[in-house]
Every structure is written in structure tokens, then in C-alpha cells.
Amino acid sequence: MKFAPQSFVRRVLPSLVVLLALLAACETSRRGIPEINATDATDLERRQSEIIGADAHHNSTLVGRVIEGKVEYVVPQAQLATGFIRQFSDGTVIDKTSIRKVQGSPKDKAIYYLVGMGLRNGMYRAMAIPLETSTDNSLYLRSNAERYIVTSVGCTFCYFSFEKSRITGTECEENTGGSRCDLEVEGNNSFFAR
């Protein structure tokens, strides 16, 4: 069998052209950290004032974004844990932070909560703070947002109870006699010290 360069070129060249065309059609953009310029800062201020509305004198901080149904943290979770430890200010150690979506039913408005969980003297503690959602799905923590604080008495884990996406109480994981979860609501927060 003899090698025929012309037949090789006729067979391989069209395949290479198709392959190059397909590669050129692929999206090659990458998502990176956007640079902030004057228009971005103005847009950010506009969105912050939009979500705060009448309470424009209260501070708010961007903590996350919802992108395609998933939460992207803007503030590192270690920094969020430090904020929760400062809010408890009683020796509670926070080892888990998250942003959770709560939606009682499809017709209820979804509310996102910033949640910190940990222990104090071996007892479970948790705090949840509701976040404001802007029109572009950015999540902001307002300084006047209430804090929902759970302290367990004999429970290994406590759950928040919700009604129409709002926290209304707590439940103990196990239903043993004498075990309970106490809920305390504070009117504001100093999560991000200024």
C-alpha cells in the first residue's frame, strides 16, 4: 500500500477546517473579578438606596448575590463567622455560616437569611438575620435588620420555624422531656463594625 499525500490532504483537511470552526464558535470568556469604576460605584449606590427605600439613613452591606439560583458570597465566610461572634459577644464560637433561601410556598416572596451556627459552653446557638434582595438579586445586610437568636437547652440542634417565609419560632431536633430551644429577637445589628 502506497501513501498518497493528496488523498490524505483531501480526507484530513476538511476535518481540520470543521474542527477549527467549532473551536472558534466555543465561548472562551471567563468570569473574573470585575473592575470597579465610577459608573459601577454609582450603580452600586443606586441599588443600595433602592433596597433601603425610606430607611436611607441605615447602612447596608453587600454580602452575596444570587446567580442562576445559587448564592455567591461577596464577603468571605470566615469574615461572616467573625461578625456573628461579635454579635453574640458572649463566648459563642461560630463554626458554620451560610445564606439560606426560605420560601413557604411558590406564591410567597422568598427571603434570604444570613445564618451563623455554633456552640457556647457545649450548647447549640444560632443566629439568623434577614437580607434585603435588590432587583439584580444582590443580597444586602442592613444595620437595622432584626436578629433571631436561638439558644438550645438540652437540644443538640434547633430549627427555625417559618410562616410565609418569616421566622416565627424554633423547634428542638429531638423531642425529649425538658429539651427546648429559646428564641430571642433583637431589633438591630452591628454586624459590620464601622
- Assigned domain for 192 exists: no
pLDDT classification of 11: cutoffs 50, 70, 90: low
Pick 46 or 105 by higher pLDDT: 105
- Assigned domain for 122 exists: yes
- Assigned domain for 8 exists: no
Angle at 16 between CA 15 and CA 20, to 5 degrees: 120
DSSP 8-state class, residue 193:
-
The pLDDT of 8-29, averaged and rounded, is: 46
| 96 strand-pairing partners | 117
- Assigned domain for 16 exists: no
Determine the structural domain holding residue 48 and report its residue range: 37-186
pLDDT at 182: 94
Number of domains in the chain: 1
pLDDT classification of 34: cutoffs 50, 70, 90: very low
- Assigned domain for 155 exists: yes
Q: Would residue 14 be called left, alpha or beta, if left means φ above 0 and alpha means ψ between -120 and 50 degrees? A: alpha
The pLDDT of 43-58, averaged and rounded, is: 46
pLDDT classification of 194: cutoffs 50, 70, 90: low
pLDDT at 189: 86
Helix, coil or strand: residue 109: coil
The pLDDT of 88-110, averaged and rounded, is: 92
Are 112 and 66 in contact by the 8 Å Cβ rule? The answer is yes
Q: Does an H or E element contain 141, and which?
A: strand 138-142
Nearest to 131, CA basis, from 59, 62, 45, 53 = 62
Are 52 and 142 in contact by the 8 Å Cβ rule? The answer is yes
Q: Give the helix ranges, DSSP H, for 26-140.
A: 38-52, 77-88
109 pLDDT above the threshold of 70: yes
pLDDT at 160: 94
pLDDT at 96: 96
Contacts 24+ apart (CB under 8 A), 2-9: none
Pick 92 or 42 by higher pLDDT: 92
Predicted TM-score of the model (pTM): 0.69
- Assigned domain for 3 exists: no
Q: Residue 136: phi, psi to the nearest 5?
A: -100, 20
DSSP 8-state class, residue 40:
H
Are 128 and 110 in contact by the 8 Å Cβ rule? The answer is no
The pLDDT of 144-164, averaged and rounded, is: 92
- Assigned domain for 191 exists: no
19 pLDDT above the threshold of 50: no
- Assigned domain for 116 exists: yes
Measured CA to CA, the distance from residue 173 to residue 97 in angstroms comes to 19
